[in-house]
Structure 1
């Protein structure tokens, strides 16, 4: 099966690496050439454009940052129109619920298939083939592409026939992560104000009540104040919380904590932390507490 892959950021490179290790025939395209050359050395082929890549692919996988870039790269370029009838587009990016619905409708008109398959995991997890992949689309199509998804992840989680359902799950998961980071920052600020260091506090809670991968991983970064290189940039975190707020507005489901997290992210961006890992969000309430004590 001929696989095309668009989007070779930190996540995409690791995912393509896993596909190549599994013996798949993979052709790639990326705006910058360095990642393409790196993967060519591992056995990937290079495409001249997204349109030409789509035309020659039975499976087109995309891992792009947001709605706008997906639209420009695939729709405006004519790439989706070039996909063959019965070809499958697997969109593994975190996009808005409305945009996912629109892509599904476009594919239906064009005669190709659309599966949303956003992932849980950071670049190191992608490189190790340990992603958790949330998949939604026609059940027969999801079943057909599951071996490809399994080459990139440790588990595939089907959540329904409507592709946007996978994006709802991913947006909800990222909202929970942002909330966890914010709450750790606020709790650290409280403890530091009373003389208990963040290292001691986070060591206790991530070893007991919150001994879970998200808390332990982000807790370690906060303890060490180690936010570069970024696995998930602060600016991307703001985008994802914005997607949660947008989805909540559309479905009239209140997310009271969402406004707090969004404002903390905006404050972090205002202080110049946009390229840091979004774990640095914890520094917002900590820094605010220090200012209040002056």
Structure 2
């Protein structure tokens, strides 16, 4: 396949490399062009604009930080939609709002272009090793056509129907489960530390008994070791995702009280200058509330 890739941050770069290693012809674009150097050296073509990355491509992936970046890079001047041929497909893997996903689907349909939302679960090491989980939604025929590319980046693909916005709702919901799990573990670690039980001991008990999922093992380890820098996922992105979750809840008239709590933890962390840390650093707030030293 001829594939364009727009957005070469820690996640996008790993995904793009998997596509290149799978034998696809790859064109890459990033606003900071140097982030594409390693991929170009490995055989990718550097694209000057998102439209250039989309030109002559069968599909274009985008993996960008937030709604404004995705909208600009897709529908703005020299955006993906400008270069994408009729019948070619934009696959958005960014964590964006349900509303924007709907607007993108409509905008591409007006141009006779395909659109899929294929959000991913996993941190940068999983992206680099092709072990992401992919949640895809959109036209089933397009899902079937794009399957080889999706299989190159993920260990398992979950389809959630023909409406692309569903993938974004699922992604926001699963990110929220990660954030709320961090909050739960942080409170438990703080309580037991004050009771004389080391966080490392609690983590061993948790992950050696009932709580054996990667979210407990991986994020529990980050919390106990305080390995917040460099970030695998930035605090600012977690705050953005939580805001989008609450926005979706408001639109669907679903109360999300734990979501409000997590948002407040993230806001407090940003206020303390922790924007550049891994989002698991908001676990510090539970320690502070318990009167424990950082």
TM-score by length of 2: 0.97
Q: Map 1:1-16 to 2 at 5 A.
A: 1-16=1-16
CA contact (8 A) 1:235 1:269 kept: yes
Match of 1:62 in 2: 62
Q: What's the offset of the Cα at 1:56?
A: 2.6
Tell me whether 1:18 sits opposite 2:18 in the alignment.
yes
Q: Distance in 1 between matches of 2:283 and 2:31?
A: 33
Report the Cα distance in structure 1 between the residues aligned to 2:236 and 2:52, rounded to whole angstroms.
31
Partner of 1:140: 141
Q: Secondary structure of 1:71's match?
A: helix
Q: How does 1:112-131 map to 2 (within 5 A)?
A: 112-131=113-132
Whether contact under 8 Å (1:121, 1:132) holds in the other structure is yes
> Residues 20-60 of structure 1: CA distance to partner in whole angstroms, max 9, x if unpaired?
11110000000112221111111111111112222232211
Residue pairs, 1:40-79, within 5 angstroms: 40-79=40-79
The answer for the alignment partner of 2:99 in structure 1 is 98
| Matched residue SS, 1:118 | strand
68-77 vs 50-59, which deviates more?
A: 50-59
1:23 and 1:35 map into 2 onto residues whose CA distance is: 21
CA positional deviation for 1:82: 2.6
> Is the 8 Å Cα contact of residues 91 and 115 (structure 1) preserved in structure 2?
yes
For 1:262 and 1:205, how far apart are their aligned partners in 2?
Answer: 25
Cα deviation for residue 75 of structure 1 reads 0.9
- Equivalent pair of 2:182/2:280 in contact (CA under 8 Å): yes
Q: Pairwise CA RMSD of aligned residues?
A: 1.2
Give the deviation of 1:209 after TM superposition: 1.8
Residues 1-294 of structure 1: matches in 2 within 5 Å? 1-79=1-79, 80-290=81-291
**Hey, what's the Cα distance between the residues in 2 that align with 1:243 and 1:2?**
33
How far apart, CA to CA, are the structure 1 residues paired with 2:191 and 2:77?
51
Large movers: runs of 4+ above 6 Å: none
Q: Secondary structure at the match of 2:160?
A: strand
Q: Deviations over 1:102-156 (max 9, x none)?
A: 1111111111010000000110000001111000000000010011100111111
> Is the contact made by 1:7 and 1:62 (CA closer than 8 Å) also made in structure 2?
yes
Say if 1:50 and 1:77, in contact at 8 Å, map to a contact too.
no
Q: Hey, what's the Cα distance between the residues in 1 that align with 2:108 and 2:49?
A: 20
Instruction: Please list every run of 5 or more consecutive structure 2 residues that lacks an aligned counterpart in the other structure.
Output: none
Structure 1 unmatched ranges of 5 or more: none
Report the Cα offset of residue 78 of structure 1.
4.1
Residue 206 of structure 1 and its aligned partner are, at CA, apart by 1.9
After TM superposition, give the deviation of residue 238 of structure 1 in Å: 0.7
Aligned to 1:117, what secondary structure does the other structure show? strand
Q: Give the total of aligned pairs.
A: 292
Any conservation in 1 of the 2:118–2:137 contact (CA below 8 Å)?
Answer: yes
Q: Distance in 1 between matches of 2:77 and 2:287?
A: 45
Contact 2:133–2:157 under 8 Å retained in 1: yes
Mapped to 2, the partners of 1:204 and 1:57 lie a distance apart of: 50
